[in-house]
Structure 1
């Protein structure tokens, strides 16, 4: 009877509410595990610190109020790693996989959530999709572990080095940014193998499972039939072009601005690796190979912009997504040309997608603004004499939390309990998705809406 009652309760949830419930439940379980004596070295974590760490791991953010490598035991680090993996793949992906494995049918709710999480076009087989997601994740993270072990094992020893390689491989592919090293990856800044491996993992985790799957299928089709014309989807084109533009543009901008500042004195190769790494990791990965406080203010602003854009839909990363940026470009380009419709790559974009992008960006800016205002209230003791750089660090922190990036200018360690709660809520909203939260709060949508008489207003 209890099981039936619980099922009846869950059936009352809308799909969006169910998604939020599953994420919140996982975070709570992770926090409770992290408060146990086995999870910490020395004194157990307070519930707020454990909740912050669990949320950051589940939401693949990377912000942390503790040093994961020294403060948590092996068990505690394993809990964090499990939350990262669950958050990166999406908890409903795990659930659907288990349903399939147990030969239980996938409900309409489960299909809706998976569609919102991973899909941009219909698929023929749910089993094939989930199998491919898990298989790709396993293979990519395993290869990343082997490559990183080449660099970590000689320095740390076999088992510690292999464990660190696996932890950082999962953290990079899931765009989490958690590191077991106190300085993140600064000590490996000039190591080409570590840089290349992590950057590939971050990019693959950030472009989305469906894009990787489509590229593999396209490559296989082209090799099996060289004469055959293979067309990739508009979504994949937009993701690849926008991602490449952000990587190249961001790297060049950081290199030029910081050439005689934070990068001064470095060898040319190290400057290139550092600029490239920070341009890529800023888009929701969270690792760093240089102290961000050494950057000039224009570079900090650029990183905030990159964090806000974030990764691509259906990926492990956050942000308003690369497709939103591409849509805004397409909208302005089409309107300047006097075209009534929005087009990209000779394809017309549906108005529904445009409205969704506008809503997402406006909601994101509004939430970040409200959160920053609240954070300044609970953190600022003397507003009249507040350090301007400190304001920048709180601004940076709110963008980093919402976009699930995990980069910080140092404000994380100084957060009060109230400040931690604000950041926790931001991370949760950023990972679940603002539109999902809006649907969850609004409940079931109506099939119709009233349309009133039109009346014009002045603009500008």
Structure 2
């Protein structure tokens, strides 16, 4: 008798995610969503970009999609940022139904949790965080947008950009993104606050909510808060130094506008794809530095992508620990478990390998673009950042498919996709140790 096929939690998560991308594609292709005719590939790319909270576009959203179309994009961003299963849990709870073990396992996979305990509580708070920050900071944005756009349009733009920013999507309803507000304090502070908060991760928010004191925070929370602060300061200094005399970016800005632009473009690459300067006009060293920020990414269990900041910090701790002849990875008087080290190394190496394959593929198919442009586009897609030098609409159909696939990998994580293709239940066999020489 044939054995009944059962899917593991990683496989179910991937299937659900792909299903929503397909649903979004169909909705965006419908006449009520568009102002002009678009291809199925255009609709698929936009749906993928929204569900993966990336923000790369092959068409201009505001000139291509109707209000209903941009609302569908906003909903896809919300589903992709907070997680499909979290919405399913909310519906189940509202209906008074119990959450099964299998459903909890899928939620555990989606939220990257080590245990099943406290999952439902975390999901509930996740919604509270989302509603509060998107609602409150969205209202602050309306203070700036309503005088420029009118009441209804100003409120809609405020809500759309608040949702896009908190979920680290980078979608904007302006053709030139946020370059029109390059020196505006309200827009710079509110938008950056939204994507930084969304990027530090829901477990960090939950930890701050429960403990409120630095000494009581978990190691993960401390690393995320300190790491985010330090890397943003370093990025600000480097970008300001590299671009201060570039006439295409900061060189023509005066007064505080130059510092606002440097700050915003320093904070955005690890999380959201918003830009207040022309990315295509950045110097090659700046583009390369931003690629590093995009690869590092945001925090675990956040709306951002990349290999995650704590993974990057762990790898640094391992490296410096080995140089200092230490047998364990120790930071802040805490030892990082071997399982976390192996997972971090696996994620980093898988990510590098996937990025190399994607760059190689595009170098063969997209002969009109430079290496730095293609590499930047690939890393941006993998990091679900959404920044672009402007080549996205001009990519071939094959190139757009590669970028779309990279966005999916970046959102779900290379490890989740690999685990969805493997059987975790195979019997573990221990073999004798063997020695290899590494220099």
Shared fold per TM-score greater than 0.5: yes
| Alpha-carbon separation, structure 2, partners of 1:97 and 1:270 | 43
Shift of 1:303: 0.2
1:307 is matched with which residue? Answer: 294
Aligned length: 435
Q: Which aligned pairs between 1:163-202 and structure 2 lie closer than 5 A? A: 163-202=156-195
Residue number in structure 2 paired with 1:443? 423
* Pair 1:259 & 2:229 matched: no
Tell me, yes or no, if the aligned pair for 2:167 and 2:195 is still in contact at 8 Å.
yes
Q: Shift of the alpha carbon at 1:120?
A: 5.0
CA deviation vs aligned residue, 1:94-141 (integer Å, no higher than 9, x gap)? 122222222322233322332333355657544432221111100100
Q: Tell me if the contact between 1:118 and 1:210 (Cα under 8 Å) persists in the aligned partners.
A: no
Matched residues in 1 for 2:260 and 2:114: separation?
36
Match of 2:421, SS state, is helix
Q: Deviations over 1:253-299 (max 9, x none)?
A: 00111112231232231111111111111013000000012211111
Residue 385 of structure 2: aligned partner: 405
Task: Note if contact 2:10-2:109 (Cα within 8 Å) is conserved in structure 1.
Answer: no
Cross-structure match for 2:110: 117
2:30 corresponds to: 36
Change in Cα spacing, 1:123 to 1:211, as seen in structure 2 (3 Å) is farther
The aligned counterpart of 1:281 is: 268
- In structure 2, the partner of 1:420 is 400
Unaligned segments of structure 1, at least 5 residues: 1-7, 223-228, 381-385
Could you tell me how far apart the structure 2 residues matched to 1:124 and 1:423 are?
36
Q: Deviations over 1:352-409 (max 9, x none)?
A: 00000000000000001111111122222xxxxx66xx22111100001111000000
2:208 and 2:255 mapped to 1: Cα distance?
33
Kept in 2, the 8 Å contact 1:55–1:424? The answer is yes
The TM-score with structure 2 as length reference comes to 0.95
Structure 1 distance, partners of 2:174, 2:303, is 22
Aligned with residue 365 of structure 2, among 378, 389, 409: 378
User: Within the alignment, does 1:459 sit opposite 2:438 as a pair?
Assistant: yes
> 1:118·1:209 contact (CA, 8 Å) conserved in 2?
no
Q: CA RMSD in A?
A: 1.8
1:162 to 155, 160, 180: 155
Q: What residue number does 2:232 align with?
A: 247
Unpaired runs of 5+ in structure 2? none
Describe the SS at the equivalent of 2:400. Answer: helix
Question: TM-score, normalising length from structure 1?
Answer: 0.91
